[in-house]
Structure 1
Amino acid sequence: MDDNFSLSNKVKDRYKKMYSGMFYKRYVSGLWCLAEGVIYDMFNEDIHKVDTINRRYEKYYVSIDYGTQNATVFLLWGLYEGKWYIVKEFYYSGRNASIQKSDVEYSKELKNFLGNIIPIKIIVDPSAASFITQLRDDGFKNVLKAKNNVLDGIRTVASALNLGIFYVNDICKETLKEFSSYIWDPKKLDYGVEEVLKEKDHCMDAMRYFVYTILRYDVESNYDDSVYEKGKGVNRLKVNDAYRKGGQIF
């Protein structure tokens, strides 16, 4: 980023606050390095976990990660004084409970979860076609398929955490637990492939659906393409090939 002479020091300082870990190395330092370890290493419970209190939320959204044997998660998002909060969560694992719920049952659970709240949009895992149909049949007219670009979504969530755009109420126990277990797949990294380890990631997926579908414009207004494009000139295939052969690119 320091090679971009069109950016003032004030602007550079703002960009530097957006990123940490892998994302800092790529978008600020211009290094093309592989990810490793915990994905949201910028998440800090002392900062991002907040007391569950009676805030006067101005508007609501819901984001949903849907599973059959895997867990199904509903996250209720509320806007208060310019900041977003994960207000509460619904978490049900058919595998853990040994009883799988049907689409009809999950639709009823969503009605109970919302109570009198009418969210602006219900953002749903785009692969959950039958559940989306069930919701619409049951009168939920504000259903929106989530944008599901995983790596860009993760980058956007990470930036949102660094910028203090959203927080998590302490009642959301499963969501808070997943921040520490949401990691890159170490076996895939051995081959230079960045993929999330698909375990204990359902709250994180629901969170990413909302942030990347709705909040990414708020995040992206804080930086310009010259920063995001930094380092993208490196051919990913060449990088992966170098790692497979034991080389390094920095």
Structure 2
Amino acid sequence: MPGLSTAQHASILESTGAVNGWEGSIRSGKTIASLIRWAEFVTAAPQGHLAILGWTLTTIQRNVLDPLANLHPSIVRHTRGQNIAWIMGREVQLVGFSDKRSEAVIRGLTLAGAYVDEATLMPEQTFVQLLGRLSIDGSKLFFTTNPDSQSHWLRRRYLARLRDLPDWRVFHFTMADNPSLSPAYVEAKRREFTGLWYRRFILGEWVSAEGAIYDAWDPDTHVIPWEDLPPMRRLLGVGLDYGTTNPTSAILIGLADDGTLYLIDEWRHDPAVAQQRLTDAQLSTRLREWLDQPHLPYPSDLRPEWLFIDPAAASLKVQLHQDGERRVTDADNGVKYGIRTTASLLALGALHVTDRCEGFIDEAPSYAWDPKATEKGEDKPLKVADHSLDAARYAITTTETYWRPWVDDWKTRQETSP
């Protein structure tokens, strides 16, 4: 097949097992190879239900359906948001496994074939259920994934035991296996990730989380005086981590004219330090007073556009609405994704912090992975002194749709400048 690397071509020809997997680094070409093989399979699949499974319908659209359509528009027929697609003329069920009800959906199907996007994100019981539903003669499962912990159930129960699983075919990919990548792009991605994420996403290793989470954090590089804040394009919003006995922290994120991000200002109430616990009404009053204050060291009409709150803080959200605050919405609380995004921005130099964000500056150096969770194959931070870090993560992740094009453009300019 022209345009494919040797590894991609081989994986398409050799993925003849009952279970076929593509794993390895990001942008390594594994997804395109797996999708070509999936489309080939669908044309000749036995009669029965077919399914594509991913974290959400949105990620299935982005990671599976859109790339299939890019291969050729006639491959896919789908209305965005619907849980049915037509691929090569066959009806395919779309199932998001972030929903706990997904296992029940799978339990009701007898499958002739299935494709799983990012298998490490799938709950183990859902994967086991899926294997049990592929009961039609000639049925096959195809999956892709980036590496995760050495103790992750997918590696421990299956990938580390391939000698005992003769019906499994698994192919390892690195960026060198993707012929469409330029050397400059590969080098840019190598700079973007550090520590754990570098080993998993660039080297394609299955490694456990350990040590500092924000290992690229350097106060001398990332912290600037508030008075030196550059011109801002937008004050995108405030991330708020809510506490009753623990601190409540709010951090404002801004998009600078040059396309980089700044944590501009912080409001924080720590009951242990203040010797006073605040009610929701008191928190709402003080927070709204802070929101209405000037946050830039120069005259500006810009104001925080949104207030992103921990989804669990239902009582405070109700109080803020009762007090007339209309900028409130739930924060994106995808912990691993938020941590990875923040770590990448710090490593790129696309995120800076003013000296007003004292809580973030104090917490960042000691933010570490939980060794007990690591033993269970999970990536979780220690839940100690992380309130400002969580607030910043909410602000960064929830506003990504707005800032991502600007940061990507800034990154391109950095890479191409002499």
The Cα of 1:42 is off from its aligned counterpart by: 1.0
Q: Letter of the 2:264 partner, please give it.
A: V
Instruction: Give 2:390's aligned residue.
Output: 205
Instruction: Give 1:83's aligned residue.
Output: 260
Instruction: Give 1:33's aligned residue.
Output: 207
The counterpart of 1:93, out of the listed 270, 273, 278, is 270
Aligned residue for 1:89, secondary structure, equals: strand
Q: Deviations over 1:7-33 (max 9, x none)?
A: 111111111111000000111111111
Instruction: Give 2:181's aligned residue.
Output: 7
List runs of 5+ in structure 2 lacking aligned partners: 1-174, 295-302, 409-418
Pairing 1:20–2:205 present: no
The counterpart of 2:244, out of the listed 56, 68, 71, is 68
1: distance between equivalents of 2:179 and 2:243?
48
Q: Percent identity?
A: 36
Contact 1:160–1:219 at 8 Å: present in 2 too? Answer: no
Instruction: Give 2:47's aligned residue.
Output: none
The Cα of 1:161 is off from its aligned counterpart by: 1.3
The Cα of 1:195 is off from its aligned counterpart by: 1.1
- Structure richer in strand, relative to its length: 2
Q: 1:36 to 1:217 in 2, by over 3 A?
A: farther
Moved more, 109-118 or 41-50: 109-118
The counterpart of 2:306, out of the listed 107, 111, 121, is 121
The Cα of 1:45 is off from its aligned counterpart by: 1.2
Instruction: Give 2:377's aligned residue.
Output: 192
The Cα of 1:34 is off from its aligned counterpart by: 0.8
1: distance between equivalents of 2:362 and 2:262?
16
| Aligned counterparts, 1:77-226, within 5 A | 77-81=253-257, 82-116=259-293, 118-215=303-400, 218-219=403-404
Q: Deviations over 1:187-229 (max 9, x none)?
A: 2223332211101000110011111111267559989xxxxxx
Aligned residue for 2:186, secondary structure, equals: helix
Give the greater-gyration-radius structure (CA). Answer: 2
The Cα of 1:150 is off from its aligned counterpart by: 0.6
Aligned residue for 2:233, secondary structure, equals: coil
What's the RMSD between the two structures over aligned residues?
2.1
Q: Deviations over 1:38-97 (max 9, x none)?
A: 100011112111111164433221110001111100112223222221112111122443
Aligned residue for 1:153, secondary structure, equals: helix
Q: 1:104 to 1:54 in 2, by over 3 A?
A: farther
Moved more, 131-140 or 208-217: 208-217
1: distance between equivalents of 2:403 and 2:192?
12
| TM-score of the superposed pair, with normalisation by structure 2 | 0.50
Aligned residue for 1:168, secondary structure, equals: strand
Aligned residue for 1:154, secondary structure, equals: helix
Q: Letter of the 1:77 partner, please give it.
A: I
List runs of 5+ in structure 1 lacking aligned partners: 224-250
Instruction: Give 1:240's aligned residue.
Output: none
Instruction: Give 2:222's aligned residue.
Output: 48
Contact 2:253–2:396 at 8 Å: present in 1 too? Answer: no
Aligned residue for 2:177, secondary structure, equals: coil
2: distance between equivalents of 1:144 and 1:218?
18
Pairing 1:59–2:59 present: no
Q: 1:194 to 1:65 in 2, by over 3 A?
A: same
Q: Letter of the 2:240 partner, please give it.
A: I
Q: 1:220 to 1:78 in 2, by over 3 A?
A: closer
2: distance between equivalents of 1:186 and 1:206?
23
Instruction: Give 2:167's aligned residue.
Output: none
Q: Letter of the 1:73 partner, please give it.
A: S
Count of residues in correspondence between the two structures:
223
Structure of greater relative contact order (alpha carbons < 8 Å, 6+ residues apart): 1
1: distance between equivalents of 2:405 and 2:205?
21
